[in-house]
Structure 1
């Protein structure tokens, strides 16, 4: 059995990694603007489009969304409604949080498995888009799979933290994770 301090360090490392990856995915927004804004201006003014600007923009959007999801979960930035749960006692809130996170693990875990299968297949055949310029799609599929796998791992870390009562050194206070 793992010592509580070792487990806490591991869970915090998972959360820190996911939070860092989520922050890094924010760079995709800047890169998207650097590609899409000039493309729109050129298209509107001189009817010229930057080759592959749309495809690169889609790739960056996928990075932003799917690599940001685990970080959002780790920092408790995901949307949640707490109107009814705040009426419950602490034990019921913890039980409900545990149940909903376990359901999320099942659903997100299934998506992780399916998208991983699709990423392996797409990579194997070297899937590309059909257009004037062929653009590889398989990296996008890998990014989606990685995002779902990391989100599943973060959700598992959240369940372990909730069950053991270990505090979360990453999530802001009042996030409902660990003892408060």
Structure 2
């Protein structure tokens, strides 16, 4: 705002940079949210079930989620590679390359997939032992 006020124009390309940084923040943040267990949880149904059944339901849901995110990782990696090979750019004032943002998507999704798989394994272990798959805050162990 200061630059626009005194120079008569703002920073060039801020919209393009903001769009790219938003993609980076979202997709790299998903792994961190799942790892720290701050991602969305809804334990209200599972906590009313017997521990073993609830654990298997949680593990099953996490396995399905991991398979879906693995597929998304694969698909988005192909898109990122095509973007890199074609030198795809974001049309705007600066013509920024899009492949760095597109490469962030499969990286973030891969980390998210791994975190889901680890949590699925933990939930399955808890179910086998007859323990609840959630801690006192409702987070999957």
Give me the TM-score of the superposition, normalised by structure 1.
0.66
**CA distance in structure 2 between the aligned counterparts of 1:113 and 1:129, rounded to whole angstroms:** 23
Match of 1:105?
66
Residue segments in structure 2 that go unaligned for 5+ positions in a row: 127-134
Tell me how far 1:81 sits from its aligned partner. Answer: 1.8
Contact 2:56/2:123 (8 A) holds in 1: no
Residue segments in structure 1 that go unaligned for 5+ positions in a row: 1-37, 166-171
Match of 1:49?
10
CA-atom RMSD, angstroms?
Answer: 1.9
**CA distance in structure 2 between the aligned counterparts of 1:60 and 1:81, rounded to whole angstroms:** 29
CA, structure 1 residues 157+93, in 2 after alignment: closer, same or farther (shift >3 Å)? same
Tell me how far 1:111 sits from its aligned partner. Answer: 0.7
1:14-61 CA distance string (max 9 Å, x none) = xxxxxxxxxxxxxxxxxxxxxxxx4xx655x46623111111111221
Contact 2:80/2:102 (8 A) holds in 1: yes
Higher RCO (C-alpha under 8 Å, 6+ residues apart): 2
Match of 2:120?
159
CA, structure 1 residues 142+173, in 2 after alignment: closer, same or farther (shift >3 Å)? farther
**CA distance in structure 1 between the aligned counterparts of 2:55 and 2:100, rounded to whole angstroms:** 38
Tell me how far 1:132 sits from its aligned partner. Answer: 2.7
Match of 2:129?
none
Contact 2:72/2:109 (8 A) holds in 1: yes
Match of 1:118?
79
Match of 1:11?
none
**CA distance in structure 2 between the aligned counterparts of 1:75 and 1:141, rounded to whole angstroms:** 25
Match of 1:176?
140
Give me the TM-score of the superposition, normalised by structure 2.
0.83
Tell me how far 1:173 sits from its aligned partner. Answer: 5.7
Aligned length: 131
**CA distance in structure 1 between the aligned counterparts of 2:94 and 2:34, rounded to whole angstroms:** 37
